[in-house]
Amino acid sequence: MEMTEVTGVSLKRGSLAVEGSDSMAPAEEAKRQKVLDSCLPTVQDGLEHGSPPTSGHVPGPPEAVNAGQGRKNSDVQLEEEEEEEEDGLSEEAEEEEEAESFADMMKHGLTELDVGITKFVSSHQGFSGILKERYSDFVVHEIGKDGRISHLDDLSVPVDEEDPSEDVFTVLTAEEKQRLEELQLFKNKETSVAIEVVEDTKEKRTIIHQAIKSLFPGLETKTEDREGKKYIVAYHAAGKKALANPRKHSWPKSRGSYCHFVLYKENKDTMDAINVLSKYLRVKPNIFSYMGTKDKRAITVQEIAVLKITAQRLAHLNKCLMNFKLGNFSYQKNPLKLGELQGNHFTVVLRNITGTDDQVQQAMNSLKEIGFINYYGMQRFGTTAVPTYQVGRAILQNSWTEVMDLILKPRSGAEKGYLVKCREEWAKSKDPAAALRKLPVKRCVEGQLLRGLSKYGMKNIVSAFGIIPRNNRLMYIHSYQSYVWNNMVSKRIEEYGLKPVPGDLVLKGATATYIDEEDVNNYSIHDVVMPLPGFDVIYPKHKISEAYREMLTADNLDIDNMRHKIRDYSLSGAYRKIIIRPQNVSWEVVAYDDPKIPLFNTDVDNLEGKPPPVFASEGKYRALKMDFSLPPSTYATMAIREVLKMDTSIKNQTQLNTTWLR
C-alpha cells in the first residue's frame, strides 16, 4: 500500500469540470422551470431560493439544518419577505450572468494545495476525464436509516376517502387565485375575498370551500347571500401565524401527520427545491424536513417529509414543475431528522477518459480495496478569492472588523455585477445603506450583513452578523475546522504513511482512545480517526499533536481554550476517519460517439419506460461509469480525485484545456 503526493505534473492533467461548474449542453441550458397556470398564476420570476452564505458556492455544513432553522429576528424576516418580490433577480438573468463570468471568477479561486489536500493513497498512474460535463452524469441516491437506497419508482397517490375531488385544482380562476394569495400573504388591505358561485349547487360550493382551504392554508371560508347571489367569502382564521401552522382541524386523526415522499430533482440544491415547493403549495418552508442536503449540479433522489399536506396536493405538482418529480407517497407519524441517513449512493460518469483499461482497473481496484483520504472537498471552502475558512478564523479570533471586511471587501476576479458594485460602494463610503441599495438580491450574505449594519450600527458588528441565519454563520467556523483537519491529515500521512502507529486515535463507541504499542497490530488505517479542533476532543500522542498546536498558535488561537465568548461559536470538536473505503463499488468502461447522449437511465427514464442506452464496442470517446456508496459527510469528489489523480479545484479545471467538445 503506497502513498503518493500531489506533484506539479498531476495538477496539469486532463480536463475535469467539477462541482460548481454550470457549463451544460445548449438544450439543457435552455431548459427552464416552467409553470402551468393551474398551479401558481402569480409566481414571480424574481423569487430568491435560499442564498448560500457567500456569493460563491458554499458547501453544506457538517450537519445540515432544517429549512426553518437559523431564522432571523422576526421583524427583519418580515421585512425581507415584504421586499422579496421587488428585490429578486430572475433565475434566468442570474444564470446568464453566472455563465458569462464563471471562468474569470475561478482564476482567483483556491487550489487543493491551498486547503491542505496534498496526498494520495494509491500508486497507480492517473488519467484525465470530464466530470459533470452534464449534470445528469452525477446521480445521488440517498441511503435511508434502514439501509435502503431511495428510488422514485411509484407516482401513484394513496387512496384516501378524506381527500377532496381533483376539481379543487381547477375550480378557481387565475384572478381568484391571485386575490386569495394576496389575502393569504397580507399583501393588500382587504380583510376578505368574496367569490361568486356561478352555476350554484351544493356540490360546487363544497368544491370551492375545499379548494380555498387546501390551496391557501390559513384562510377560512363561509357562504353568504348577497343580492340574491351566493358568494364564498374567504378570510383569515388566526392572523399571521396561520401560514406557519397548517389547519389542524382539517386533518383526519387516523392519518399520520406527515406525508413522506421521494423527491427527484435535477440541477437544484435541496434548499432551493424546498423553497420552490413551499411557494407553489403556499406554505412556509419550515414544515418540510429531510435527512440531508444534496448538491445542485446533479440529479438527486432523497426522502422528504412535510406536515399536513396531502399526497394528492403534492402529486399535483408533477403537472406544474419541470426538473422535479414527487412520488412514493406515504403517511407517517413522525418527520425526518437530520443525520438519520446512512449515506448516499453515487452513480458517476467520467467522460472522455484517457486512461488505458489497465490503468482504470488499477485505479478502481485501489478505490475498492484501500479507499481514499477522507478530505473535506473543495466545495467546503467557497469559490471566491476570499475562502470561507478565513472568515471562520476571524470569528474564532473575535476579530469582528475583519469578519465584516472579509465578507464585504472588493475581491480579485469577476463576480456578479451587482456584487461588484455593492463592494465598490462599501469600499468607497463604508455606508451600509448605500451599499445595500446596489444589491437587487438582498438575501445573499452580503445583503444580510449590510442590513444588520444598517440596523445595529458599525459599532455592533456582532449583532449585525447575527442577522445572517445561524446555520450559515456556523458554516464559516466549520470551514476553518475542515481546513485545519485537511492540513493535519496530510501531515499525519506524510509522517507515518498508511499504517496505524502508537499514539493514533481510534473510536470505541463514541469515545476516542489511543492505540498502544502492544495493540497496534489489532487495528488498520481504516480505524484511525483524527480530531477537528475543539474543547471536547483529545489529540494524537505523537508529532501531529504538536502540529495542531503550532497551526492554531500561528492563527492566534489557543488550542487549550476553544470556547468562545459567544456560545454559538464555541467549538466542541469531533472525530473523522482519515481513510474511507467505499461500499458497493462497481464500474465499466463504455464507448460512445455523441458527447451529449446520456450514458445511463435515471429513475424518471425508467418510469417513462425508456430503454437503457446500448453501447458500441468502439467509439470516438470512452467513459468510465462508476457506482459506489459513501457514509454521510464524505465527498464523492475526493473519491474521484483518487481515481484520476488530479486536482479537483474549479480554479485548476478552468485553466485546463476543455476544447474536445467544440
pLDDT range class, residue 62, cuts 50, 70, 90: very low
Q: Which grid coordinates are listed for 628?
A: 459506489
Q: How far is the C-alpha of 381 from the C-alpha of 266, rounded, in Å?
A: 24
pLDDT above 90 for 65: no
Residue 650 corresponds to which cell in the numbers above? 474549479
Does residue 648 carry a pLDDT above 80? no
Q: What is the pLDDT, as a whole number, of residue 15?
A: 37
505 vs 489: CA distance, rounded Å: 12
**Mean pLDDT, to the nearest integer, of 336-345?**
93
Please report which confidence band the pLDDT of residue 1 belongs to, taking 50, 70 and 90 as the band edges: low
Q: Which residue has the higher pLDDT, 493 or 220?
A: 493
What is the CB neighbour count within 10 angstroms for residue 192? 15
Query: Which of 150-164, 205-219, 231-245, 581-595 reaches the highest mean pLDDT?
Result: 581-595
Phi and psi at residue 99, to the nearest 5°: -65, -40
Q: Which of 143-147, 380-384, 395-399 has the lowest mean pLDDT?
A: 380-384
Decide if pLDDT at 242 tops 90.
no
For residue 594, the model assigns a pLDDT of 86
Band of residue 90 on the pLDDT scale cut at 50, 70, 90: very low
**Within 13 Å of residue 436, how many CA atoms lie on the same side as its CB?**
18
pLDDT-derived band of residue 70, with 50, 70 and 90 as boundaries?
very low
User: Residue 327: pLDDT band by 50, 70, 90 thresholds?
Assistant: very high
DSSP, collapsed to helix, strand or coil, labels residue 173 as coil
Question: What values do phi and psi take at 101, rounded to 5?
Answer: -105, 0
What are the DSSP E strand ranges found in 132-191? 138-143
Work out whether the CA dihedral 169, 170, 176, 178 comes out positive or negative: positive
Cell 498558535, residue located: 553
The CA-to-CA distance between both ends of the chain, in Å, stands at 40
- pLDDT for res 162: 58
Grid coordinates given for 271: 434548499
In angstroms, the CA 629 to CA 371 distance is 12
Q: What is the arithmetic mean of pLDDT over 248-259?
A: 77
CA distance 6 to 116: 11
Q: Does residue 331 sit in helix, strand or coil?
A: strand
- pLDDT greater than 60 at residue 98: no
Amino acid occupying residue 147? G
Confidence (pLDDT) at 528: 97
Cell of 65: 439544518
Q: Can you give the pLDDT at residue 271? A: 87
Mind listing the pLDDT tens digit for each residue in 503-558? 999 999 989 999 999 999 999 999 999 999 999 999 999 999 999 999 999 999 99
Residue 266 host element (H or E): strand 258-266
CA distances in angstroms from 222 to 27, 127, 324, listed in the order given: 49, 69, 35
Q: Is the pLDDT of residue 10 over 50?
A: no
Strands 505-508 and 528-532: antiparallel
Could you read off the pLDDT of 597-606 as tens digits, one per residue? 889 999 999 9
Q: Which three cell numbers stand for residue 453?
A: 449594519
Average pLDDT over residues 366-379: 94
pLDDT, position 345? 97
pLDDT of residue 651: 63
User: Could you tell me what percent of the chain has a pLDDT over 70?
Assistant: 76
Check residue 615 and give its pLDDT: 83
Cβ 354 vs Cβ 14: under 8 Å? yes
Q: Return d(Cα 109, Cα 330) in angstroms, integer.
A: 44
Strand intervals (E) in 511-662: 511-514, 528-532, 574-577, 579-580, 583-592, 621-630
List pLDDT tens digits, range 181-197: 777 766 666 777 887 77
Q: Which three cell numbers stand for residue 196?
A: 361568486
Which residue, 609, 648, 643, is CA-closest to 486?
648
Separation CA 478–CA 380 (nearest Å): 9
pLDDT for residue 622 is more than 80 = yes
Helices (H), ranges, 386-469: 388-396, 400-408, 417-429, 432-437, 445-456, 461-465
Quick check: 38 and 79 in contact, CB under 8 A?
Answer: no
Question: What is the sign of the dihedral through the CA atoms of 335, 338, 341 and 343?
Answer: positive
In the predicted model, is pLDDT for residue 258 greater than 90?
yes
Q: What is the pLDDT of residue 175?
A: 76
Q: How far apart are CA 155 and CA 436, in angstroms?
A: 45
Q: Give mean pLDDT, residues 40-64.
A: 33
Contact 89, 441 (CB under 8 A): yes
- Condensed to tens digits (0 to 9), the pLDDT of residues 136-179 reads 899 999 999 999 999 999 999 887 655 556 666 667 777 777 77
Q: For 125-130, what is the mean pLDDT?
A: 89
pLDDT over 80 at 207, yes or no: no
Mean residue pLDDT across the chain: 79
Distance CA 474, CA 480 (A): 10
Closest alpha carbon to 367 in 634, 587, 138? 587
pLDDT band at 564 (very low <50, low <70, confident <90, very high): very high
- Nearest in space to 153 (alpha carbons), one of 261, 293, 313, 290: 261
Whether 504 and 524 have beta carbons less than 8 Å apart is answered as: no
Handedness of CA 13, 648, 91, 322 (dihedral sign): positive
Q: What is the largest CA-CA distance in the chain?
A: 95
pLDDT at 218: 67
Cα separation, 642 vs 648, in Å, equals 10
Q: Which residue has the higher pLDDT, 406 or 133?
A: 406
| Confidence at 91, pLDDT banded by 50, 70, 90 | very low
Of 313, 293, 303, the C-alpha closest to 263 is: 303
For helices 357-369 and 636-644, what crossing angle results, to 10°?
140
The pLDDT of residue 659 is above 90: no
Known catalytic residues are 295
Q: Which of 428, 275, 379, 341 is nearest to 630 (CA)?
A: 341
Give the pLDDT band of residue 244 (cuts 50, 70, 90). very low
As a whole-number percent, the residues of the chain with pLDDT over 90 amount to: 49
Residue with cell 393569504: 184
Measured distance CA(374)–CA(318) in Å, rounded: 38
- Pairing outcome for strands 299-307 and 138-143: parallel
CA distance 256 to 158: 13
Give the residue-averaged pLDDT of 418-427. Answer: 90
